[in-house]
Amino acid sequence: MNIDISRAAAILRDGDGFLILTHRRPDGDTLGSAAALCSALRRLGKRAVLCPNSGITEKYAPFVSEYIGDDTSEYTIPVSVDIAGENLFPLGWQGHVELAIDHHPSNSGFASETLLWPDKAACGEIVLELIDLLCGGITSKEADLLYIAVSTDCGCFQYANTRADTFRSAAKLLESGADIQRLNKLLFRSVSPARLRLEGMIYSTLRSYRDNAINIAVITAEMIQKSGADGSDMDDIAALPGRIAGNVVSVTIKERTDGTSKVSLRSTDALDSSAICAIFGGGGHKMAAGCEMSCPPEEAAEKLLREIERAMG
């Protein structure tokens, strides 16, 4: 059942012993929102913890570790933040969620009660209003956590989901003491040495065609191994080849350890990425799509280039 914010606040005000759930492969929004909510509930004298999530990366661990519960058995009111469906529950957790706080239009309605604001760029914006209602304001630490949530989900206010409201939320967080200079550097300007090495290899081997309209990056298993990159260094790697001026479609082909290829396409609306990927059994959206190919990356690059050339006429 969908509820309004005053009902959500009442659930939190009336209960005690909250187990806050973050989604699988947790990002800044789910983690920042969960930790800020946990902090606010504790300020109200409530017992609240974050459910352990094995996917928390080094980047976010320092911000959330103090809120994670070791023994969660006494926390009997599960509250999810930024989770769209049960298949996204953190690994190892199953059960019934009392309250879901979310901004995904696709939310499946798995919880008893759902506060769903699909127009928000980030779940953190909803949590900000909720904490405001519950506590009459947020602490500077909560402002940091919610700035992590909001800024990461809108790509530092660059993605199409960025609204006037997103900036209003950010302004409020800044006024509440968020250290946006430090956080922006950490979240958007710093990269690991392994990531930097890998990016160097990707840029130096980039193939460009038709005056840089078509750009293909091949990431071999050897490049990944030589750079020392792990899963956390691969974030949004498919965005790199499309940065070149004049790009219409960019292709990122990652060689799997078994020699096959994982392909990601990004394009402007001048080309249908999903139609190209559909030829190879994949799919997605018009401007971002993917497919898996059983051939090695060089062969995949040739096949994809041929189909893209054909589609562009």
Evaluate whether 67 touches 43 at the Cβ level (below 8 Å): no
Q: Which of 142, 153, 233, 255 binds Mn ion (CB under 5 A)?
A: 153
Strand order in the sheet with 214-219: 207-209, 214-219, 249-255, 261-267, 288-293, 283-284
Residue 310 Cβ, how far from Mn ion at the closest point, in Å?
37
Contacts of 61 (CB under 8 A, 6+ apart): none
Classify 145 in phi/psi space as left (phi over 0), alpha (psi -120 to 50) or beta.
Answer: alpha
Choose between 123 and 218: whose C-beta lies nearer to Mn ion. 123
- Pick between residue 145 and residue 271 the one whose CB is nearest to Mn ion: 145
Q: Residue 260: which residues within 8 A CB-CB, separation 6 or more? A: 292, 293, 294, 295, 296
Nearer to Mn ion among residue 110 and residue 280 (C-beta): 110
- Does residue 102 belong to the site contacting Mn ion (CB under 5 A)? no
Query: Of the listed pieces 59-67, 85-93, 147-155, 257-265, which binds Mn ion according to CB under 5 A?
Result: 147-155
What residues numbered 1-30 form the site for Mn ion, per CB under 5 A? Answer: 29
Which tokens sit at 160?
């199409």
- 107 or 176: CB nearest Mn ion: 107
Which DSSP state fits 312? H
Our finding on whether 123 is near Mn ion (CB under 5 A) is yes
Nearest distance from C-beta of residue 267 to Mn ion, angstroms: 24
59-98 residues near Mn ion, rule: CB under 5 A: 82
User: Quick one: residue 109, left, alpha or beta (phi over 0 = left, psi -120 to 50 = alpha)?
Assistant: left
Q: Which is nearer to Mn ion, 40 or 81 (CB)?
A: 81
Which helix (DSSP H) or strand (DSSP E) does residue 38 occupy? helix 28-43
Cβ 229 to Mn ion shortest distance, Å: 25
Q: Which residues would be at the binding site for Mn ion (CB under 5 A)?
A: 29, 82, 123, 153
